[in-house]
Every structure is written in structure tokens, then in C-alpha cells.
Structure 1
Amino acid sequence: MNIALLGYGKMGKTIETIGINRGHHIVLKYDGGAENFNLENCDVAIDFSLPTAAVNNISTCLKAGVPVISGTTGWLKDYDKIVALCKENKGTFLYASNFSLGVNIFFKLNATLAKLMSKLEQYKANITETHHTQKRDAPSGTAITLAEGLIENSDYSSWTLDSPKAKQLGIEAKRIDDVPGTHEVVYKSQEDSIQITHTAHSRQGFALGAVIAAEFVHDKKGIFTMKDVLNIS
């Protein structure tokens, strides 16, 4: 495949290395500075840019008929707008808050555990996410996805970064140097605790998942998630 990288920071560079190692060609490395970019000869685009740039990047790809996947977080207020644009242009789009294959299995595990715990009122749930100090958004998109999966399968009504009130799920966001990403979901009662944890050791897992997702969508039409890529819908 010929891949366009929209965003050429640490993640973009890691994706470049993995993409080349898997036999692909990087034909565009766009890191802002101009409103438009040339998608000629691009089979698929991978967006790991900034929240302020993601909507324009994704829209440009969809209008040009280039399948696009995005791992940029912080822009999801416009997600429905992008979905509508994708359908209007009969395009291809996949968004994931986290492309790690392990994290997406973790999402499934989280939802299953939430169903099991939903009838045990003595347990209170909490999510903690820890990332490097350069991460711009808090909580992480991954933590939000975990919270949404837990809420969907329990009596919790919403999540909060503040002290949780009744029916609110608490999320704690920590920022520590050189931590690629750790997410914990804990159920605690007076008697005991149940905890599931995913720990990323490097950016490699995120980048590999992004390339695999690009391989999955490049010859398809529609709106997809990592559940489709991993066949765990």
C-alpha cells in the first residue's frame, strides 16, 4: 500500500518504520503548515495529528476518496459530522481511541466484567489512566472508551474527573514522564478488590495496530472500528 501519514510526530515516525517493515510505502508525511495536502497515489491515510487538525485532515481524505483511519483524540464532538461526510462520499473511515491490539481485547474484557459486576452493588468501580507528561488530553481517549463500555453495561450514568457523586464513575488521570500508557479498572468493596490492567511497554503496539487497521480498510467501504479489524463485534 501507499500510505499517507497525517501527523509526523513520535507516533507517525513509529508507524512509518512498521509500515515499511511490512512492505508498504510512505508517500506523504504531512505535519501541518499548510491547509491542504496532496493525496495523489495514496491508497490509505493514517491520521495521528492534533485535535485542532484532525477534522480537516479526515474531511480532506474523505472528499478525495482516500480511506482514512484516525487515532487522534480530543475532536469527537465532530464525530457525527465525519460519519455523515463519509456516508455522503461513500468513503471509508475508522476511528479508534487506541489501536493497540491488546487494548482492544481489554475493551472487550472490560465490557464483559462490567456485565458480571452490575448485579453486585457492594462493589464500586473506578478507572485510573497514567500517561507521559506530553499527552495533551485528560482523561485519555482510551479511558473514555473504557468508561463508556462500563457505563453501557452497568447502572452508572456518566463519568467524571471530579469526586464522583451517585451513579457517577470516577476517572483519575495521572501524568508521569516516559509512561506510554497504563489503564486500570478496579472494582472495590469492603471485603476485596477486582482489578484488570493494561500496560503499554512502548508505542510499537499502537503503531502496529494502526498499520493493521489500515491494511484492513484500504479496499473496503464504510465506517469501521477495531472490533471489525479483530472480528470481536
Structure 2
Amino acid sequence: MRVLVLGHGKTGKLVAQIAAEHGHSVHVLDAKENPNAQALTAPFVAGFDVVIDFTTPEAAIQNMRACLATGAKMVIGTTGWYDKLADMKSLAERREGSLLYGTNFSVGVQVMLKVAYEMGAALKDAGFKFSINETHHASKLDAPSGTALTLCETIQTSSGAVDVGITSSREGDETGIHILTAQSDSDRITLQHESFSRSGFAEGAVRAAEWLSTRKGTYDFRDIFDKM
């Protein structure tokens, strides 16, 4: 499989490394080589089976517009752009491209979301209040994180809770910690996921690209991670 990786930050580098370890041909474009998505011409994009984006919210939108317009298949690991999600889905569908997006490509996080859903449903109308605390590296641009927002949405859907507070911290090179707390007057339940490295995100993104390479349509990673 021919893979184009957009973004040469810490996660982008790992994605390229793991894709190569999986036996794929990999080409990487960093921000300087692709200002305003100018490098993503139709002939260039046509040379790849899947495009994986780990850039910034602004760059990801430009990259999607350029690539999806050619009918490309894209895996988007960047977060912070979901206000444009409906537009990107529509573009992919009109041009018969493929779009797979996710707030977190770690399989462990996806399992946490499933457990959180069950936890919310079990505690519905039981007098519990929910809160989320998340910590990421100092250079992460979006706060709250996409994962925290997805966790919040999951709890609201399953428990019916309206007010789920999110506290965000940005410090050092912390890869990612997400803590969900349910507290009543009598007790407290805590569900936590901690990432030790970015390799879990990168591995998930490469597996997602392999899965997407034979499919058309738009997909949320949390709906397909257990099918890869």
C-alpha cells in the first residue's frame, strides 16, 4: 500500500515508521513542503492509496478539501476541526472518496469509551454527577481534547446527564491522561486511561488506513475499531 503521511510532528513520524514496518511504501510531507495544501495536486494525490493526516486543525481542513476533491481515501488523526465535519463528509460523498476520522486512534481509549457508556447507563437516575479531567502535552492546540469531548458526549448520551464538567491541563510532554469520575453523596467511581507513548495512536491510525484502503464512505473510528 502506498501511504502519504501529512505532518512530521512526533505522532506523524511514528505513523510513518509504523506504516513502513507494516511493509507499506511511505511518503511524508511536512508543513514547509505543503503550505496551504499547495502540494496536494490531483496527480500527486493519485499516486497514493491512503492519506493519513496528523497536522493542525487549520491545515487538516485545507488538506481534506484538496485530497477529498480528488476522491482520495483519508484517515484524519487531527482533532479540533469538527465544526467542519458535515462539510468534509459531504465532500467525500460527492467525490466518492473515503473519510475515516476519530478523536483518538488508541484501541485502549475506544475500550474506555465503551465502558464509560455502560457506566453512564448503569448510573442513570442514581444520583451521580460526572466530571472529566484530561492532561496533554503543552503544545497540544485544542482544549478540551477531542477525546474528552467524545467521552463527555458518551456519558451524556448514556446517562442523560446535562452538566458534565471538563477540566483541561497542558503541561510538559504528557502524552495523554483522561479520567472520568462519577460521584454521589455516598461514593465515587473513577475510570482512567493513561497513554505512555504515542505509538498506540500511530498503530491505530495505520491499521485504520489498511482497513479504509478497500472501502468507500465516511466512518468514525469508534464505530469500526473492533472490525480492523
TM above 0.5, yes or no, is: yes
The answer as to whether partners of 2:133 and 2:167 remain within 8 angstroms in 1 is yes
Q: What SS class does the counterpart of residue 208 from structure 1 fall into?
A: helix
1:5 corresponding residue in structure 2: 5
**Do structure 1's residue 184 and structure 2's residue 179 form an aligned pair?**
yes
**Do structure 1's residue 64 and structure 2's residue 64 form an aligned pair?**
no
1:16 corresponding residue in structure 2: 16
Q: What SS class does the counterpart of residue 42 from structure 1 fall into?
A: coil
2:136 corresponding residue in structure 1: 131
1:148 corresponding residue in structure 2: 153
The answer as to whether partners of 2:15 and 2:206 remain within 8 angstroms in 1 is yes
**Do structure 1's residue 42 and structure 2's residue 43 form an aligned pair?**
no
- After superposition, the C-alpha distances for 1:69-122 in whole angstroms (9 at most, x for unaligned) are 10111111110001111111121101100001111111111111111111212x
> Following TM superposition, by how much is the alpha carbon of 1:139 offset from its aligned partner in structure 2, in angstroms?
0.4
**Would you identify which runs of 4 or more consecutive aligned residues in structure 1 move more than 3 Å?**
none
- After superposition, the C-alpha distances for 1:123-162 in whole angstroms (9 at most, x for unaligned) are 11100001111111110000000001111112223xxxxx
2:109 corresponding residue in structure 1: 103
> Following TM superposition, by how much is the alpha carbon of 1:7 offset from its aligned partner in structure 2, in angstroms?
1.3
Q: What SS class does the counterpart of residue 26 from structure 2 fall into?
A: strand
- Structure (1 or 2) with the greater helix fraction: 2
Task: Name the CA distance, whole Å, in 2 between partners of 1:224 and 1:60.
Answer: 19
- Single out whichever of 23-32 and 192-201 deviates more from structure 2: 23-32
The residue type equivalent to 1:5 in the other structure is V
Task: Name the CA distance, whole Å, in 2 between partners of 1:181 and 1:107.
Answer: 15
How many residues align? The count is 221
Q: Which runs of 5+ in 1 are unaligned?
A: 158-167
> Following TM superposition, by how much is the alpha carbon of 1:34 offset from its aligned partner in structure 2, in angstroms?
4.9
**Do structure 1's residue 229 and structure 2's residue 222 form an aligned pair?**
no
How high is the TM-score relative to the length of structure 1?
Answer: 0.91
Instruction: Rate the CA distance shift 1:39–1:30 in 2: closer, same or farther, 3 A.
Output: farther
The answer as to whether partners of 1:93 and 1:222 remain within 8 angstroms in 2 is yes
The residue type equivalent to 1:24 in the other structure is H
2:125 corresponding residue in structure 1: 119
Q: Which runs of 5+ in 2 are unaligned?
A: none
Two-structure CA RMSD over aligned residues (Å): 1.4
Identity between Structure 1 and Structure 2 (%): 35
Q: What SS class does the counterpart of residue 17 from structure 1 fall into?
A: helix
How high is the TM-score relative to the length of structure 2?
Answer: 0.93
Q: What SS class does the counterpart of residue 153 from structure 1 fall into?
A: helix
